[in-house]
Structure 1
Amino acid sequence: MVHKNYLNAEQFERYKQFIYAGSIGEAKKMLLEIIPKDCMIYKYYRGINRDWNSIIKPELWLCKATCFNDPYDSAFLCNCHSKKIYDPQTEYTLAVEEGLKQYEQDQKSDIMQDTVLVGCFSERNDSLLMWSHYADEHRGLCIGYNLHDLIKNYNCFPVIYSDEMPQGNELGLNKTDSLMKYILTKYSDWSYEKEWRIIQIDNTCTESGKLITFERPLEVYMGLGKRVEDKYRRNHKKLAELKQKDNLLKVSEAIEKDDFYVDDTKITDYRRKLRDEGQKIGLYNFELSRQKFELEPRKWSIGI
């Protein structure tokens, strides 16, 4: 399936220029003018109770960049060396000075990377790879949010994919806007994700991330039917293991534990609650196409 990008090439180049110039306000203003008010953005989840409880609260987990699977993510790597090889006879002092500066910048880079908190989203809700990587091999959930609202209410920006790293020779925590180009630029291998990011800089966070108050979801996509069935078998297996350790454990208590997969009835109950309050949420699941390597969405009507 061919997916149209939310920004065309000309718009994206102008956006990139704003980000690389540190003009974050101008970039945000531009996005609010371009992105339609009904445009959706998506986030993949494993689909366990911990995820669902945060989704409906609603909250969003911002993860430290140091915990990501890409070592270059928000790494703030600077090259302080003016050359690769120094003449030991005439450039010894220069080599020592630049070596010390490189060490200081690398230390600062590690500290700064640990202050970057990110929530990741995608323009796509039907990526086979992302369902596999981020939604527990198609057993999880993909949640849709209003993108225009996220841009308006948070530091929400599209990722810039490139074969070249952003360049700089000095870093500083007091230059947040100028640091955004490092946080928003990823190697082009990741471009299939069509990622947008909500970003916070927080040097007080001592955990692997934090929860923030967030927006209500507008769409919920279940994984593949057969994989969704498998999550209940896994729940039953986990329950049996817990009962072996504690025979007095109530089933109703066990299935509410954070690491159990969320039950479908919780999702339909949530939709019913919203409907009673005059609000809407779309529920869907995916099936495999019989003609192409694609996921086909279907309206989900079970349990209504």
Structure 2
Amino acid sequence: MWSHYADFHKGFNIGYNESKMRNSGLFGKGGPIMYSDEYPHLDAFTKHTIESSFQQTHFKSKEWEYEEEYRLSKLFFPKPPTEADRTIKVPFEFVEEINLGIKISPKDQAEILKLANDLDIKVFQTEKVPFKFKLTRNQIL
């Protein structure tokens, strides 16, 4: 997923405290993403239900199935979600760790290390495992 979401290992990802996320009250539901070759049918003239809300937030194309994504989201019931509803600001205190990509720039790495040090967040450097199709990580802060 580094190639899709972190600019081919030049970026970073954030690890959140799952317990804090689940118990925060910021989210109304969670569940595994459903993968399909077909876009879910959403009928604007049918009564909005919890199931239709779930369809709007928990479906992706089958080509992403390897991600095995689990998603937390707001509960959009009884009204359908707006674009603004789909954004949740997660507090910094929910951040457990930051994982740096293999090719992150020295400038970006320095900025992240300073912020993480100020906020007492663990930082890991992602590295290739020699002669294997595998990544590992080592804590650097």
Under a length normalisation based on structure 2, what TM-score does the superposition of the two structures give? 0.70
2:96 aligned with 1:218: yes
Instruction: Report the alpha carbon displacement of residue 219 of structure 1 after superposing the two structures with TM.
Output: 0.6
RMSD across aligned positions (CA): 3.0
Ranges in structure 1 where 5+ consecutive residues have no aligned partner: 1-129, 233-261, 276-280
Alpha carbons of structure 1 residues 165 and 133: separation in structure 2 relative to 1, 3 Å: closer
Match of 1:193 among 67, 80, 88: 67
Shift of 1:288: 1.0
User: 2:111 maps to what in 1?
Assistant: 266
Task: Go from structure 1 to structure 2 and tell me whether the alpha carbon gap of 1:181 and 1:214 turns closer, same or farther (over 3 Å shift).
Answer: closer
1:210 to partner: Cα distance: 7.0
Q: Show the 5 A alignment for 1:91-130.
A: 130=1
The correspondence for 1:141, drawn from 3, 8, 12, is 12
Partner of residue 179 from structure 1, selected from 43, 49, 52: 52
Paired residue total: 129
| Runs of 5+ unmatched residues, structure 2 | none
1:203 correspondence with 2:77:
no
What letter matches 1:266 in structure 2? E
One-letter code of the match for 1:192? Answer: Y
Question: Structure 2: which amino acid aligns with 1:203?
Answer: T
Which has a greater percent of strand? Answer: 2
Please say which structure displays the higher CA radius of gyration: 1
Shift of residue 300, structure 1, vs aligned partner: 1.7
Counterparts in 2 of 1:163 and 1:298: CA distance versus 1, 3 Å: same
Change (3 A) 1:151 1:161: farther
- Is the 1:221–1:285 Cα contact (8 Å) retained in structure 2? yes
**Shift in alpha-carbon separation, 1:263–1:163, aligned structure 2, 3 A:** closer
User: Is 1:284 matched up with 2:119?
Assistant: no
Shift, 1:292, TM fit: 1.5
* Deviation beyond 4 Å, 4+ runs, structure 1: 162-170
Per the TM alignment, residue 165 of structure 1 is displaced from its structure 2 partner at its CA by 6.5
Q: Is the 8 A contact 1:161 1:185 kept in 2?
A: yes
Task: Tell me how far 1:136 sits from its aligned partner.
Answer: 0.8
Deviation track 1:123-157 (CA, whole Å, cap 9, x = no partner) reads: xxxxxxx1011101100001000223323331333
